[in-house]
Amino acid sequence: MVRPYRVKGFKRKKIGEEVYDKEDKEEEEAEEKEEEEDDKEDTTAVEGEDEEDERRAGEAADELPGIPIVASNANSGAGVIFVLERASLEVAKVGKTYQLLNSDDHVNFLLKHGKKPADYRPDIAFQAILSILDSRLNKAGRLRALYVKTEKGVLFEIKPYARMPRTFKRFSGLILQLLQKLSVNASGKREKLLRVIKNPVTRYLPLNSRKIGLSHSAERMVRIHDYVNAANNDVNLVFVVGAMAHGKINTDYTDDFISGGFSFFLLSASGSPFSVSGYPLSAAYCLGMICNALEQKWNIL
């Protein structure tokens, strides 16, 4: 038979043994008390280590993706603000659930309600947002803000350090949550990475800014790099780009004009239009051209 392990703190008494010496009994009780105190100290030490581990884990969680990375040249000098106008982001109840309408999945629903499927292109805004947030311009801290205005007139802000979904399906779910709850918080935090704000967008634009809008026709051609290089380094540039398949946007608050969508044009302060490309371009590619020109202007590698 295997001999059982001795339980700590328990003193086995021999059969027939009696304690006659009072001092021996007191010594045994003192030893048992010391063992209990040692056990308590060990438990306290382990709990303290657990708390320290939790604290370090919390600090590590703060460094996870989604938290802004402040570059060495962040918030230095002028920056850029992008405004996406007339984004096709409309929510409707399809069947028993609410969904973000798009021309691929909701053709029958749109035709049934007398709407043109070609007008519902949320993928244009999705690609444009990724083009801006993934740019070196944003990673260097030069992107001051990103605003999106839907076809229905809903204006919302996207924080420059927000990590947008990489797939269109997840992006649709995110916009659905935003338009229903009016905000989207960071994971595990109260900070609002996306939030619906009041119109007009001009109330959020800095005073020392040059607002550049859209035009659909042009006769002369210029280089976008020359255009941004001519801008004052102390002035914030605000680019207003259309995020719709076709049509025009309201540019009443713009100073100059730049066009996105199918063609990319500039309009000088004197009102003479000119183009930066002889080919039809997508909104995402136009934004990429703007970001690349500004990156070279501010020497962002």
For residue 245, the domain's CATH number is 3.40.1280.10
- State whether 246 and 147 are in the same domain: yes
Whether 138 and 264 map to the same domain: the answer is yes
> Is the pLDDT confidence value at 286 over 80?
yes
Q: What is the pLDDT of residue 21?
A: 52
Residue 196 structural domain: 80-297
pLDDT at 43 over 70: no
CA–CA gap between residue 90 and residue 175 (Å, rounded) = 9
Q: Which long-range contacts (CB under 8 A, 24 or more apart) does 62-67 make?
A: 65/163, 66/161, 66/162, 66/163, 66/186, 66/187, 66/193, 67/161
Exposure b/e, 238-277, CB count within 10 A at least 16 = b: bbbbbbbbeeebebeebebbbbbbebbbbbeeeeebbbbb
SS3 114: coil
Nearest to 81 by CA among 126, 132, 122, 128: 132
pLDDT band at 30 (very low <50, low <70, confident <90, very high): low
Q: Is 195 exposed, middle or buried (0-12, 13-18, 19+ CB in 10 A)?
A: middle
Is it the case that residue 64 has pLDDT exceeding 50? no
Residue of higher predicted confidence among 216 and 296 = 296
Count helices and strands (H / E) in the chain. 7, 13
> Where is 211: in which H helix or E strand?
strand 209-213
Sequence-separated (6 or more) residues with CB below 8 Å from residue 19: 25
What's the pTM value of the predicted model, to 2 decimals? 0.70
Q: What is the crossing angle of helices 122-133 and 168-181, to 10°?
A: 100
Q: Which residues pair with 7 in a beta bridge?
A: none
Mean pLDDT estimate for the chain:
76
Tally of structural domains, the chain: 2
% of the chain beyond a pLDDT of 90: 44
Closest CA to 143 of 241, 70, 64: 70
| Residue 13 placed within a domain | no
**Whether residue 137 is found in the same domain as residue 256:** yes
146/128 Cα distance (integer angstroms):
11
Note the pLDDT tens digit of each residue in 80-134: 999 999 999 999 999 999 999 999 999 999 999 999 999 999 999 999 999 999 9
pLDDT at residue 35, rounded to an integer: 62
In this prediction, residues 219-244 reach a mean pLDDT of 82
217 located within any domain:
yes
> Can you tell me whether residue 289 is helix, strand or coil?
helix
pLDDT band per the 50, 70, 90 thresholds, residue 260:
very low
Range scoring the smallest mean pLDDT among 10-19, 94-103, 208-217, 271-280:
10-19
d(Cα 152, Cα 89) in Å, to the nearest integer?
A: 8
> For residue 16, is it within any domain?
no
Q: What is the mean pLDDT of residues 199-218?
A: 79
Q: Are residues 194 and 232 in the same domain?
A: yes
Residue 74 lies in a domain: no
Distance of CA 278 to the CA centre of its chain: 34
Task: Decide if 75 is inside a domain.
Answer: no
Is 219 found in the same domain as 98?
yes
In three-state secondary structure terms, 81 is strand
**Has residue 15 been placed in a domain?**
no
H-state helical runs in 63-207: 107-112, 122-133, 136-139, 168-181
Pair 121, 102: CB distance under 8 Å: yes
Which residue is listed with tokens 């629903």? 109
